[in-house]
């Protein structure tokens, strides 16, 4: 598994569904460079079970992300047409209607490969035919990308394990606090709590109080 933290986020252009109902071409995270942070996350597939709980949970907290100047973008290996259909389906039918942030299509699986969250790999069989070893879907990868396009945080869960939206917000708060104040954030730090001056005196003071 590649560690992308500290590196430029892999760039791409692909189809996506925006505003819950509009398919666009050549969608790219580059549009946010210099303007917004990006929370870019992968989920395994449309019309599944854990995935809609996460997708809807991010939508429920979308105002909190917007307050922090963060664009939320989802991605799976499904087509834009599959995303669109799922976005038109009612919640009681297992759909995700009401989600407005962009959902990216990775039908070629190249985005998942570049972010190293694809749950398998391509190989050749005895007849020299291309085959996929593993599951041709993405793990639950999450990447926090700063306004310079650098990955500052990544988290990868196996497919059965849903993520915490509150933890994603906490991590964003920690990054932005560090950028604004130059102080580092200790274990379990939350917005409004004490941070640490990055000196020996700073950590000594923090641990003794």
Q: Are 112 and 118 spatial neighbours (Cβ–Cβ below 8 Å)?
A: yes
Residue tagged active-site, from 17, 29, 39, 51 = 51
Q: Is 51 a catalytic residue?
A: yes
59/91 Cα distance (integer angstroms): 13
**With the CA atoms of 18, 16, 83 and 116 taken in that order, what torsion angle do they form, in degrees rounded to the nearest 10?**
-130
- Exposed e or buried b per residue across 48-84, where buried means at least 16 C-beta atoms within 10 angstroms of its C-beta: bebbbebbbebbeebebbeebebbbbbbbbbbbebbb
Residues with catalytic roles: 51
């Amino acid at each position: 598994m590649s560690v992308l933290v500290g590196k430029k986020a892999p760039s791409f252009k692909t189809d996506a569904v925006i505003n819950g109902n509009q398919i666009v071409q050549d969608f790219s995270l580059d549009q946010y460079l210099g303007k917004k942070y990006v929370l870019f996350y992968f989920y395994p597939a449309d019309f599944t079970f854990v995935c809609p709980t996460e997708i809807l949970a991010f939508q429920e907290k979308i105002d909190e992300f917007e307050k922090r100047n963060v664009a939320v973008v989802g991605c799976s290996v499904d087509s834009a047409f599959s995303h669109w259909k799922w976005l038109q389906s009612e919640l009681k039918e297992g759909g995700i209607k009401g989600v407005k942030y962009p959902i990216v299509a990775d039908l070629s699986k190249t985005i998942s490969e570049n972010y190293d969250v694809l749950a398998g790999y391509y190989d050749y069989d005895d007849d020299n035919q291309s085959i996929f070893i593993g599951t041709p879907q993405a793990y639950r990868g999450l990447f926090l990308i700063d306004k310079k396009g650098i990955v500052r945080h990544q988290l990868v869960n196996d497919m059965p394990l849903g993520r915490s939206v509150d933890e994603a917000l906490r991590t964003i708060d920690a990054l932005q606090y560090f950028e604004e104040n130059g102080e580092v954030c200790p274990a379990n730090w939350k917005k409004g709590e004490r941070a640490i001056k990055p000196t020996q005196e700073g950590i000594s003071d923090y641990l003794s109080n």
